[in-house]
Structure 1
């Protein structure tokens, strides 16, 4: 017996998972940014970052470099959380009209995701290069995956794909408008 799942049920499941991921990413972003503030206020307290990412060698080498790495990791986490916030907002406001799915609201949603994924890729790339520079100087650094800076190329690739999809939506909006005028 095959159970048929409706689009409405799938969107509810996506909304539930989006909430779970959003909360996790928000906690992660908050932890990175909180640690960045503590490095300024009371650096002796901060030896381990969120999820025990050890940047103590970098902090001892130069607190400003430490702050920059933590800030970049925080920005990447905030952008990831922002993506899921957009998804949640889009699904909760029921902005999708299944009768006419090509709308300015949907295109704006896809473009918003595109911009955020591009920012994630950009900051991940900058952070990974920044970390590699200190590894070359002999400073002990964690893996870029632990810093949430890995996969910059994948994020940029995803941004390009989302941009293409946004352009397809733009063309779909134009075709819908032409069809509405001819009827």
Structure 2
């Protein structure tokens, strides 16, 4: 049985929607944990997607806790936004004319967003390391690594390939 490319793209769009919804829920749950953490810290660290290690920071300084949780919320929201951009890309992609300026622009935007996730993660990890030294508490890590830098590079290269494909297509149209 031959699987058609349109079916694969439809499947990828469904996966992208699931990832988008998952990260949006995660960002929302972390936001709720942040707010509840200030109101009732004992309840806050038991909530879904709350990092109990970060709640230890409340006894030192509430701004430490707010900043650390905000980095987690921002990363989850950033990832949800990347998946939203992937959904838009897959919705605009047409197999009859895949090399379009819009697709290349969207690919480039996704690459820069992935680079942004990597940068926020680096800053967040530095902040957590500083907090560990300052408070003496073990806080863990953000769970995101250097793979986002690799993903950003790959998507950027694909965007450049699409741009070159557009240039070749336009040259061919002019020579006819």
Q: Establish whether TM, by shorter chain, passes 0.5.
A: yes
Moved more, 157-166 or 101-110: 157-166
Confirm whether residue 105 of structure 1 aligns to residue 98 of structure 2.
Answer: no
How far is the alpha carbon of 1:24 from its aligned partner? Answer: 0.9
Gaps of 5+ in 2: none
Are 1:69 and 1:131, in contact at CA under 8 Å, matched by a contact in 2?
yes
How far is the alpha carbon of 1:26 from its aligned partner? Answer: 0.5
**Separation of aligned partners in 2, 1:168 and 1:141:** 44
In the other structure, the counterpart of 1:62 is 61
Confirm whether residue 165 of structure 1 aligns to residue 158 of structure 2.
Answer: yes
How far is the alpha carbon of 1:172 from its aligned partner? Answer: 1.3
**Separation of aligned partners in 2, 1:141 and 1:111:** 37
How far is the alpha carbon of 1:78 from its aligned partner? Answer: 0.8
Partner of 1:5, secondary structure, is coil
**Separation of aligned partners in 2, 1:123 and 1:49:** 24
**Separation of aligned partners in 2, 1:80 and 1:48:** 24
Moved more, 27-36 or 64-73: 27-36
Confirm whether residue 115 of structure 1 aligns to residue 112 of structure 2.
Answer: yes
Confirm whether residue 175 of structure 1 aligns to residue 168 of structure 2.
Answer: yes
For normalisation by structure 2, the TM-score amounts to 0.88
Are 1:58 and 1:141, in contact at CA under 8 Å, matched by a contact in 2?
no
Give CA deviations for 1:143-162 in whole Å, capped at 9, x if unaligned.
21xx44x20x2212221222
Q: CA RMSD in A?
A: 1.9
